[in-house]
Structure formats: C-alpha cells, structure tokens
Structure 1
C-alpha cells in the first residue's frame, strides 16, 4: 500500500529525538549569526498516519550558531496532550480542549518565550533547547485558540494575532505588548466561517482574509473546510487603533494561505501580496494534503504570486498576477513587515517552467525574479531572512533554510546571500530532516537560556 504523500519522500517522519554537537560546516558562517534557527513541521509518531497533513504531530528542529560554529542540532516533538495521550480537540461533552494541539505549524519567540503554534489551539511554550513546558494562555487572558501566524510589529514590538472559529464569534483580534502582556481582545463583527490561516498588518491597519474556503462539516479529513462557490470572497481592512469594524472589499474567488506582506502606498491604498490559489489549484493541493487518490506529486499546485490593491477612497479592489511560478511559504525581511518592501522570497514548486524545487527572490521595483534551483531529489524549505551586521539595504543579509536530500538521505542548514542567493555556508546536520512548514531566526540577545 502506498504511504500517504505527507509521510513519504521528503516528508518521511523521523522516529526519535536526538542531539548532536559541534556540527561540520562547509564554508564560513558569518560571525553575526549568533542565535537559533528553529523550524516546525508535522512528524507523526511511528505507525500513525493522520487523516490530513496538518494533523501530524509537531516536531521542532533547531540549530544553535555562535562564533562561526554550529554548536548543536536537536529535534524534539512538542509533547502536548494530543501527542502523549491522543487527546481530541473536541471532548465527549462537546467542549473544546484547547491544549489538545499537534503544535506543528510554526515556532516563534516573543517577550522571552518560545511558542510552538497550531491555529486551532493554545500556543505551547518550549524552552530554548526545545523541551516542552506546556500550554501558554497569557496569564489566563487568552480564552480561545491562537493563529499560527502572529505578526510582530518591527517598530512597536507588539504581537498582533487572532482566533477564528466556524461558530460565532468567527473572529477575535488580539494584541500583546512588547513585554508579552495581552492588552487588547476584541470581537471583529461581520466576519464569516472561513478558513483564516493568515492575515496581515500595515502601519495603521489590519487586513482580514474572508475567502471562499469555508467550514464544511461534511469534510471528513479532520480539517472541516472546503471550497464554496456560493461564498462571496472579500478582504477586510480595519484600523489598528479604534473599533474593530472592517471595511470589506469584494474580490474575485481565490484562497490565500500565507500573506507575503501588506503595506500602505503613497496614495493611501492597501497593497497585499501572497501566493493565491484558484479553485482548481486549491482542490488539487487538498488532495495531496489528505492523500486522496489522484493527488499530485507535490503539496502545492497552481498557487502563484499575486497582488491585491484595496482603495479606501473608491471602495474597490484591483487584482493582478505577479508571476506564473508555483510558490508558497513567502517571507520578507521582517524589519519591513507592514511597511513597503521591495523584496520577497518564496519556495517554488515543480510546475510552470520548473522541473525541480527552487528558492525564488522577487524584486517588486523591477518586476524581476532570481531563482536558485535545487538539485534533483533535493527540497529546500521556507527561507528565513536574517539581516547582516550593519545592513543598509533591504536585502543585505542571509537566508536560512533546511534542505531534504533524498539522494544521500541527508540535510543541511543552508546559509545563502540574500542579494544573489549564492551559498555562503552550509551546516551538515546529523540526519535527514523531513520537509516542514515554518520557522524563525531567534538572535541570542532576545533570549539565551543555554
């Protein structure tokens, strides 16, 4: 029997937790890389095949860099009740157990805490060495789940996030201070039962994605959402300060899992970028995510770099495709999050114009792109930007990504020059790391418990 695509090939799970020290390096690590690269992903326990890619148990992989050395690699499952005891999200009495998380989507640091995230649950705190502490609810103030894609404002240090639900209230907006205190909780009226995996902020606004993948109790994969032609797609723009009342802009049917960035242009319009799915590409990708017969060979098909421009003066939205490559997992220099950015990075999948995986760099000023193609049977992951010491240009820095190499059953942490995508150095990891989802660079000055 053919194993599900999300537990085979590049996604074949590892079966244990391990630690290795003083890793071999090819090239020279930049000395300013002092911190931890952490990455999350779904890694079911041996013998378990979840009903959906997103339901696999979360496993963190980390590499500690310091003084030109790679001090350690370690991987740890997030030991939640769902992992330890197979605790269900919905208890027998119908209530939610927000601690029953797979905690497998993202890992961030805010106000000295490391948080493993999964959008249907509370965050799970882990230590700087990836051991599980337990669920985190901001001192009892967080009563709902938390998105896996919070946004930390690079100027204020505030963490903006939300919870969405198939039942009212469909959307709740939160803000935590730079010190980690939950300072705002507000229901966003008017939102619907759509799959809001991500959102965006600008300097003055919050951008909500109320798009046509909506709650569907007949979807039995464990992720009860599906595409609806009857749902009117729209994007909401809400002031960051003031009442949580969005202005909604009607848009063409399309889905967006991950926003690249949003910003306000010189004319006061809201510009939003990210990989957009049409119905065919969403439903094809969903087949891979659920292991449905006839699934494609890669987890993302048809999602292309796209732009929405929302004009508050006219109440209208304009839309355009920016490229035809199949891409996902977009990133930017997060010093520009919510502000105008020139460059964006993404993972390109085999599809239009490509026979292999690649990392792509987009230049919005010139409308051009650069590609770093991977070797056959090698898959890079999401590329996380780290500024160079004394950086003056937006792309003056490095991209960190973990590769999965099926040829040699191995992985590396690649350090690339963000200007031209050339290799600066590579850390040889002690095992092949399964392809994963999202990660973060956490500089040593933000916290170092080692």
Structure 2
C-alpha cells in the first residue's frame, strides 16, 4: 500500500504533457491575459521520498488570453537533485543547488523562479523549461525562502534564508531591478524550520518556532517538534537595529496572512496557527505514519489567529479569530505590509473569505479538493477585493482552474484541465 502522501489527492502524475484549446465553462474575464503557474511535489514513478515535502518540484501552467484558455502544460523542475540525484548535504558539504524546488513559483524583474526554502531558486522560462539555479551573480550564499515579500512601494523583494548551521537566519533584499543589495544575519538560538515571515512598513516579522533540525532524525525530513526550544515572534527594524522578541504560546505557522502597523504603532500579524497536538500529528502523517490519532490530526488544520505586538511597551496580545480549519491565506498583494481588510483561505469545503474589519466570513463550496486561491486585481479596480480568485480544484480524476469573483465568491468561469493535478502548494498569476 502506498503511503498517504503518494495516494488520493496527493498521488503524483507519471509524466509531462501539453494540451491546447482547453474547454471553458462560463466566461473568463478578458483582462486575465497571462499565465497561472502552480508548484508542488511530484516524485517520479517508483520513487518514494519518505515525506510529502520531499518530492521533485512539478510546475503546472495554464495560459489564458482574451477569454480563452490556450494551453496547459506540466514540467518537472530539472534541479541537480532531479537530474543527477545530487544530495543536499554530501561528502563535500552543503550543495544549495541540490534541491527539489517544489514549493512556490514567483516572478520578479521578469525572472521566473521556482522556490524551496532549503536551497537556491531555479529559474524557468514562461514555457516552464528549466534554465538553472540562480544565485544573483554569486551574491546569494544561503537558501531562499519560498515566501518572499515584495514591497508594494519600492518594488524590492524581501526574503531570508535559513541554514542548518550558523548563521541560522539571514535576511536579504533584492532590488526592483533584481540585484541582491543587502544581506544581514538575524540572530536566533538554533536551526528551525522557518517557513514564512512577514513585513510591515518599518519591520521584518520573524516566526522562531519549535520545529528544530537534527540530522540524527534522518535525511528525508530531519525536523521535529522540540518542546524545549520555545516559541517567539521577532520584530527587526527594516532600517537596521536590534530584534525585539516576544514569547508566544507554543505553536507552529506555515503561512502568514499579512502584517501591518496600526494607529498606535503596534504590529498586527494574522496567520494560520497550528496547536502542538494538531501539528505533530499532521507532521507524522505527512511522513507516512498511519494511526487513528494522526489521521484525525491530518483531518484538522490550522485556525486563523492574530498576534498584536507593541515594540514600545513589549506587550503582546494573542487571539483566535475563528475556529474553522483553514490554510493557505492570501490577500491583495498591493497591500503587503499595510493594513488589509480581506483575507482568502482554503477551508474544508472550499474557499473562505474573511472580512477582518467586521469579523464576518463567507464561503464558496467547490465540491472538490481546493488549492490556494490566488488574488488577481481587476483592471481599474475600485476596491481592495475588486478582482478574481484563481484556484485549482480536483474531484477524483478531474481538475479545473476555477475563477471566482473575489467580492462575493461567485464562480464566473472554469477551465477544464486535461489531467488530474495533484494537491500542491503555491502558485502565482503572471500577467503579460
């Protein structure tokens, strides 16, 4: 029997295909002219990576133009791990190019990058062919988080790399022109799985949480919950200075929603928060463990949570915003680091939209396994939520690219895809 991470919605596809002139139901907004790319792990036939996160990265792309869906194609990212079975940590030490590149795909300064947090990004073409690893002219000497943040004012791309050995966390800033112009260490006590972070107008927001690295746990996924590590959130001035740390209740966070500074100068951070019991059970299930408790944890998820951090007084506030299972929070990226009202998440039955001003929530039930909902602003948008949500939805062996109106969550169109797309991680809309 195949483990759950190779079965059902997570089951990999065996090959690469191309298809043209895809069937569209409803009406695609003509302004959606560009490409939707999504990344996720997809081992080759016969491979078992030992953990859901260990599969080779596969990109799925859909080309939209003038109300038509011109093509679908999928391609493995041809990293040295994929082509040569190169180890990330070998006899010669750390090889930052030997990764799976399986977590996210973004575009910055017309360069398309497939990302994974433990190594270098891999550049790909608009047709999803692999160009190769990218170290920005030799300046990037750490991994690159799969969740960089683009400042909507400066156009700079802010990101970090975490390491297995000191320095454990390094902050980087890429200019709007694609040049690595700043790198500085962020001091933390040990190596942890720091998956995401946030920015505000004046701060970098760090999540230093108790998922620690230890090679004695084996190379397939050497992270585990460490109750002795503690849990804290840090604020580092973007202009430079000392990080202020705030102890928080033990938890784990894969994905933040957004962060901003309120009228009192406090930092507000929203994120999908896991309790220790849910996360440890889910983590074991992702690695193939199979018992009733772990299956129950896998059926649970994170819940929407808020921290309010006051750098002036050192005071911290924590509150649960909802009790439903949600993940993959997204928002209008034009408000990254600034106060935002709407948040889109994936729930048990589809897409959940939160109005963070009123506390109201609404839901679009999709009838299938729903992927991250990527927000695309409408042409001439008149409000924060005036735009479209793009999500890959899979039911059995059929997948579609769903397009919904972000204001009221009504479905406006669906593109029938030529094959089942396995459940994956993150994607981006890349306008022409």
Deviations 1:48-100 (A, max 9, x none): 1111111101000011111111111110000111111211101123x111111
Which of the residues 364, 385, 390 maps onto 2:375? 385
The yes-or-no answer on 1:397 pairing with 2:387 is yes
> Is 2:117–2:143's contact at 8 Å kept on the other side of the alignment?
yes
Aligned to 2:138: 140
> Is 2:281–2:297's contact at 8 Å kept on the other side of the alignment?
no
Aligned to 1:439: 427
Change in 2 beyond 3 A, CA 1:191/1:392? farther
Stretches of structure 2 lacking an aligned partner (at least 5 in a row): none
> Is 1:76–1:131's contact at 8 Å kept on the other side of the alignment?
yes
Change in 2 beyond 3 A, CA 1:190/1:85? closer
Which of the residues 322, 338, 350 maps onto 1:358? 350
Map residues 249-328 of structure 1 onto 2, 5 A cutoff: 249-294=246-291, 295-296=294-295, 299=298, 301-328=300-327
Offset, 1:249 = 0.9
Which of the residues 364, 367, 378 maps onto 1:372? 364
Map residues 216-231 of structure 1 onto 2, 5 A cutoff: 216-220=214-218, 222-231=220-229
Change in 2 beyond 3 A, CA 1:34/1:297? farther
Map residues 166-245 of structure 1 onto 2, 5 A cutoff: 166-220=164-218, 222-243=220-241, 245=242
Aligned to 1:115: 113
Offset, 1:168 = 1.1
Greater Cα shift, 319-328 or 293-302: 293-302
For normalisation by structure 1, the TM-score amounts to 0.93
Structure 2: distance between partners of 1:141 and 1:97: 15
Name the SS of the counterpart of 1:128 in structure 2: coil
Cα RMSD, aligned residues only: 1.3
Structure 2: distance between partners of 1:300 and 1:374: 18
Offset, 1:300 = 5.9
Stretches of structure 1 lacking an aligned partner (at least 5 in a row): 350-356, 445-450
Structure 2: distance between partners of 1:298 and 1:27: 37
Aligned to 2:243: 246
Offset, 1:359 = 1.0
> Is 1:250–1:316's contact at 8 Å kept on the other side of the alignment?
no
Change in 2 beyond 3 A, CA 1:361/1:206? same
Offset, 1:317 = 1.1
Moved over 6 A (4+): none
Name the SS of the counterpart of 2:215 in structure 1: coil
> Is 1:150–1:161's contact at 8 Å kept on the other side of the alignment?
yes
Aligned to 2:157: 159
Change in 2 beyond 3 A, CA 1:133/1:297? farther
> Is 1:300–1:328's contact at 8 Å kept on the other side of the alignment?
no
Offset, 1:443 = 0.8
Aligned to 1:427: 415
